[in-house]
Structure 1
Amino acid sequence: MQVFFEPIWSWPLVILTSLGLVVLVYVTYQAQLKRLPRRQAQLLLTLRMLAVLVLTFAMFRPAIQTSDTDDNPVQLLILADTSRSMNTSDMPGGTSRFSAVRADLTRYEPKWKELGNQVTVRQFDFDRGLAPHNPAATEGTGDQTAFGAVLEDVIRETRDHRSLGLLLLTDGAQRAIPPYDADPLTAARKLGDSQVPIYAVVYGTSSLSTASLDLAVEDLRIDPIVFEKKLVPISCKVRAMGARGKKIRVRVLLEDRTGKRMNESGEFKPAPATYQAQTVKEFEVQGDAETLAVDLSFVPQTAGELKVAIQVESDETELLTRNNRRETIVSVKKGGLNVAYFDQLRPEQSRIRMVNGADKIQLEFQEVRAGRSASQTKLDRSWFEPGRFDVYLIGDVRAEWFGNEILEKLAARVEDGAGLLMIGGLQNFATGGYALTPLADLLPVKMDAADYRPIGKLNPNTQYMGDVKLVPTDRGLKEFVMQLGSSDKNRSLWTNLPALEGATRLRPVNDLVRIWAETADKQPLLLVNDVGKARVAAFGGDSTWLWCLDGKADLHQRFWRQMILWLAKKEADTDQPVWVNVDPRNFAPGSNASILFGARTADGRPAKDTRFEIEVTKPDGQIERPSPRQLNDEHSAEFSATSEPGDYWVRVSARRSGESIPEMAYTRFIVDARDLELDYPSADHDFLKELASVTGGTSLKPEELGSLIERLKQTKYDALTRIQITTLWDNWWLLLTFVGLMSCEWFLRKKAGLV
């Protein structure tokens, strides 16, 4: 321990100043204390002089210096990359990078030990972060390489130990997504400030054009909004590496959603070729590394959201194929949705017709008369011409009232893709003679010709009598048609609806038919199916109008509108009272998706004072509920849980003035399936060179590793002496002493009447 002083000024000046203060205080203070008793005067003078001495002590700024010796061994950190890109076989002799690193670790292990007792060698593995070294590992398994997070871990390892340096054995490619994408250069600068140099040994080549075959679709461009039955151009680029002289084929794929519900993705099928669309192209690759510009086109046949993909067909020798396809979503627009509805004049039809005009649903009603007035019914045959209507609804109408010619035309329209729904009644289905018509092969119910009854005769065997409670099935509750509210309230909304007054007995025609609703005793009530291009349904109820009498008109309208939209394959139509949009439609893993949504009034203006609920269904089926926010008239939400590739389905429901707005809005976006480690596995020599230079280290080749160890062996390390200086003048107790002396002296002077 050593005591030393660092005066505030030069020594002579500080000494003279101190003596001057003592003399000044003594002379001036003596005159003030003459009239006080001697002991009291001496006490006051002593206190004042002690305060001057404390001030003089501070002017000399004394300090105590202590030192101790740190003789702990110096450490050398060796980090081996265990990410999947290290499995790339581009080292001499076709060896993988991972195997080359492990071979070098084994080869130079004796040299680690020769570094001596003063150097401790610590080995680690890394990918997303630092991990204990596993000598038994045979290949890289890490799905990300996060140098920023790894170097932050290294900083913690070097905080309390002297370090000879950090040896990185890696291909040097930073491949990470949030929260693993910390800035590696910032962490490297911290290591440089701590005098921990990075020695980066680079494994792998920066170009893989001759090492392996890889075909990838990049830069897919297509208009986000297109129109039905119009040519849609597509442009993209195809990157071909190691494919010299090979012929490759690029084609357009369209998603087939037949039999799929809202939160399920369909399979891709080749886009149908037409005389105006070019859905396939073939190329011959001329070089080892070539990027080809490809122009394709297709013609969408139906409106709604359409998932499109461009795929380059893989070669049998290609190892990585997940980047051979790039997907996106487009909105296919169409005019108004036209619905033809045939029924008798009964309470059910009057309520169903209320959907007319809403959400561009143009419902045209044809009254079909029975009894003596049957001859007055004249059906317009133009209603059954191709393209006239998107959906046909059949109420309590017998087959003979249509006639064979019209029923054959109706069946042809369904085969063309028009939706078809038959609603419960006393004179339709098998009782009304449909078992022997072309519709028998289209409707999702089994009809027996023996159940036929003449006009005016009822068949009690085909009817439920009394109250019938409509109960959605577990599968039905997940479907667009059966969504009356948010997922946590949907079942209770159905439970609180009034029972139906009877219903038609229905049986599924085969096991492919989906049952979305049933009676309380598990008998089918709502059956749906996909027949070719069309969606068909059968609903046994004919008294949903009772829901309106019970104050549930909004739920009644929602159910029927959603039924019609589903039949027309427009459940994902963006031109609805409640709308939602995600732009762009494709995101990289870990990105933030911005969801925009809102509501419209009947005249198309933004609906104000509206509350929204948002649900995002992830590819694994989990549901997230991001919080909506509002800025002026814009509503939005941010969704960041996008680490898993696949389709993300967004559903938005809304309430205005306490009432639910009919129809929920649906859309989806895609998180591209990317393998961060293997999509572009080239080594990054430049990055490692920059990373090492920031710390005062260097970048080198694997064959130079031995010479580096020899240089490190020549480094001499003496014991580290740590010096600690403790100042005695700028602390709380000195200040407290000075204030205490002055306060005590002032108090005694005041008591003596000198203040």
Structure 2
Amino acid sequence: MTSLAIEPIYGSLLLAMAAVATTVAVIVMVTPPTSDPRRRRWLIGLRLLAAVALLLALIRPTMVRTDNRPLDAALVVAIDTSRSMTLPDGDGSDRWSTQMKSWQSLASGLSGHDTSLDLRLLAYDASARPLASTSPDALSGVLPEGESTDLQAAAAATISVAAGQPIAGVVMMGDGAQTGPITGGGAGRVIETLNSLGIPFWTVPIGPARTQSQSRDVAIDALPEDYQLFTGNQVDITFQVNSKGMSGKDIPVRLTWIDEAGQRTEAATRRVAINKSVDVAAVTIPVTSPIPGTYQLQASADVQDGELVVTNNSQLAFVDVREGGGRILYLFSNLDQEQSLIRRALRRFPDLDLTFRWIPTDTNQSWPVDLQNWFTPGQFDIYLIGDLDAKALGNRQLEQLAKTIGQGAGLVTLGGYQTYGAGGYASSPLADVIPIKMDASRRRGIDSPLDSYEQVDAPVTIQLARNHPITDLGNRGSENDSMADAWRDLPALLGANKLLGPKIAPGVEVLLETPQSDPLLVVGQYGRGRAAALAMDSTWRWWRSGSNDQHRRFWRQLMLWLLSREESADDKILVELDSRRFSSGALPNFRAIANQTDVTMVAEIISTSNGAVDEAAQPQSINVSAETSSQASGGSDESSIRGAIPKLDPGIYRLRVRASDPASPIKSTEVAFQVIDESRELSNPLADPVYLTQLAQLTGDHGGAAFGPDQIGELVDTILKRRKAAETPVTQRLTLGDGPMTGWPLFLVFAAALSIEWWLRRHWGLA
């Protein structure tokens, strides 16, 4: 509505009228001093024009306009930018695309309808941040990369982003899944604050509800990270199939070899019957290892209808398949340092596959233990028996073991209290296999005291009896150093069995002995196999005294001799990686060892594509530090470095360690590993629209509600109706002379009229 009014100077209409009357009277009564009527009319007209301008300035005519419209306010829209928005929305699209369309519909629907509504756009994940643009295309350059979702922080930020401006309402879009920590009452406490201020909270839940498909998932789990296999051998691959909502289904699972070139070969297929809504099925599939090389073994389950996340349907193991090699079974009864460090030494070598079994002596009432088919030919290449009584294995199994040794396997027996004659082996089927003489009369009970004549008094100094591949400790001292000196310099043993001597048979040799000629190591042949008898069981002292390189070399040389494989030159770098399958947030350490001194090594990461090395990608160098001799676990004739895998994107990579000098004879080594995505945002594919709906209902008294992505038009209507209901009368007043647009013209008219009147009087010669 528009009306006219006057606002006279000083607020007094009487004063304004008096001024008008005085002005008119002066103009009429004081006539110009001329008898020319034309000149008189010009001068009086100019004076009247100036008087009119002055009178308008005195009475100040005003145009008053009154409108009903809402006050200026901000509408805050919060957009979910966490990684869970890349998951399916349950309607054939992903949540991020659905959210972008919802924002475009909202921004376009509000555009041009309410100029007093200030649109504010907010992005949230683990934290919240305002976006500069509020156009319908404002999200085109934004990516959902947040590692967690904090709805509480997002709700709190909607208040601060308004920057003190009244808030017309808050719109929150997203899947409603809270993956960040909850503190201080959560998002509900902030929404209660909005409710107390009379601010409506509208939500747009995106994604399938928990009640729709929360159990539809199949995942492969518990597949070992790596395998060390030998070509042509059969190995059992074990893993788990975790399922939800698949009761009554048969899930196809398959094992696939992936070679270094990325070629895939299916190894086996099985169907796993799922019997429960939430089920964990253990799967064991035997496969035959392929030709030597480096492989990835993928265990995968076929994608089922209704699965929202399929990245967990497969898992990878890294497999090194070698030509030959040795599978070792280590049986022992004492959990002492000897068995611990022998296992540690042998596990270092990738071509030796170690399986161990502890058979405690305090359970001898249940002897013999059942080792199933472990002693049958082809199961293991070497059998290593620690301080273990013959009864623990039983004659039937020992007879099978003797046959297996005769067919080409190797046997090692260690010293101890229950070995050889004292342990009952003199009258066992292994009596012909073990290359030393034994006396059955020395048989002792488990708890019987040890006779002094059965032991060599400590300390026991080792003396080299014969040069042999087993006794080559790789001495790299001066030219005058001998192998005998290397053995003599080793720490003395804490004791040894007093053996009766070697058998008189072809191939039986004493390799190590005491200075008193008591045999400490005797080797021999049995059929097509080889056997070694040790009188000692405290070689761990070498490791503890700093001679760990000699310890490892001795035990490796012994294993290789039993395999009929004498040691070749150590010209390859050994790489030890803490883990070969880890999350992107983990930074595992690695260690590389070269069996030569003064070798400078470098480490680098190589990217792969489809399982094959990406030749186009540049290797990424890694910072490494050289170990000092006190830090290294090896001897002084080693070079070693340590480092950590840097943060990498999910994928498959290779760690390559090589000598920095291209002319070095040391060969490089590559170890493959996988960086997996274990994001909390992606681990649960289900949205929580119920939670967003509950938050919106907290402001239900003020119009808060939840709207689906297909109801954005209704949300726009709700916002505009609320703005219409919040309209208040707004009065606009336009007073003549109050601003430069009207004040300056009025002044110019007044000044121009008087100036022209003065100039005419001067021109006409009037007073």
With the shorter chain as reference, the TM-score category is 0.3 to 0.5
TM-score normalised per structure 1 = 0.39
